[in-house]
Amino acid sequence: MEERLQKIIAAAGIVSRRAAEQYIRQGRVSVNGRVVTRLGAKADPGRDEIRVDGRLIPTGVEKLYFALHKPTGYVTSLKDPEGRPVVTDLLRDVGERVYPVGRLDYDSEGLLILTNDGDFAHHLQHPRHEVPKTYLVKVRGSLSAGEIRHLQEGVDLDDGLFVPVEARPEKTNPKSSWFRIVVSEGRNRVIRRAFDALGHPVQRLVRIAIGNLRLGDLAGGEYRALTKREIGGLTSRSGRKKEKNYLDNPGKTA
């Protein structure tokens, strides 16, 4: 059965569907010895010889899904030109090549999903699905009522207005404050930039949930396989659940 090339490549666990589209545009994909650069091109994975960068793509690969507690000091990538540690260094005895879904900054920590299922990754990252991501954010100083309202109503950044789905203080003292922030967009370092604009730089940022999937008590550097129920919940319309345990003891899984 013929399918779009980008879907076949993503399903084989090579890269996400979005990245596969870039590979096709760049002339890195061939079908039966002929380079294909048209995004609408189709092929039959059971019959055609499909190669990426000259390598034959595998078929019948087992789909894998993992939740990882990413520590700070790791790059959310498969490799880093600066030679820094990457998140896949933390996975052992996985068996198949997996890649991170979305990103989490080098100096941020918390829940990260890794998979070799391109369709699943595409669903989670597509803006249309608006999968919410929940963070606990420690910032310098104490925000005034006006600054909190400013954050909730939207902070104007260089690349447009940032309006969180939810923003509320959790713990506060004169030197620092913890906030719960929920976002459904993927702009780079948008939470850090918003607090910088308010004059309260982020000191710590922990992602505690993606949709209904929660970090829980997974320790820094640890990972586990997702259950079928969790996978199904992430591909349905995801609600939000409160995550209390981490804030009660924020040093527990650092």
Percent of the chain with pLDDT over 90: 65
Does the residue 253 lie in any domain? no
**Domain of residue 173, CATH code:** 3.30.2350.10
| Cα–Cα dist 76/46, whole Å | 33
Report the pLDDT value the prediction gives residue 60, as an integer from 0 to 100. 67
The label of the residue with tokens 């506060």 reads 172
* CATH number reported for the structural domain that contains residue 101 in this entry: 3.30.70.580
8 Å CB contact between 215 and 112: no
DSSP secondary structure string, 21-83?
HHHHHTT-EEETTEE---TT-EE-TTTS-EEETTEEPPSSPPP-EEEEEEPTT-BSSS--TT-
Spatial separation of the C-alpha atoms in residues 150 and 155, rounded to whole Å: 7
Could you confirm whether 105 is annotated as catalytic?
yes
Domain around 10: 3-56
The token pair at 115 is 């998979």
Amino acid at 50: I
pLDDT at 251 over 60: no
Catalytic residue among 80, 105, 107, 158: 105
Contact indicator for 180, 166 with CB cutoff of 8 Å:
yes
Position with higher pLDDT, 22 vs 235: 22
Rounded (10°) CA dihedral 115, 120, 123, 126: 30
pLDDT band at 17 (very low <50, low <70, confident <90, very high): confident
Q: What is the mean pLDDT of residues 97-110?
A: 92
The answer to whether 131 touches 144, Cβ cutoff 8 Å, is no
Q: Are residues 30 and 145 in the same domain?
A: no
Q: What is the pLDDT of residues 23-47, one digit of tens each?
A: 999 999 999 999 999 998 999 887 7
What is the average pLDDT score of the chain?
Answer: 88
Predicted TM-score of the model (pTM): 0.75
Number of compact structural domains in the chain: 3
What does the pLDDT read at residue 237?
A: 60
Does some domain include residue 109?
yes
Residues 138 and 204 in one domain: yes
Q: What is the pLDDT of residue 243?
A: 38
Ranges 17-21, 53-57, 175-179, most confident: 175-179
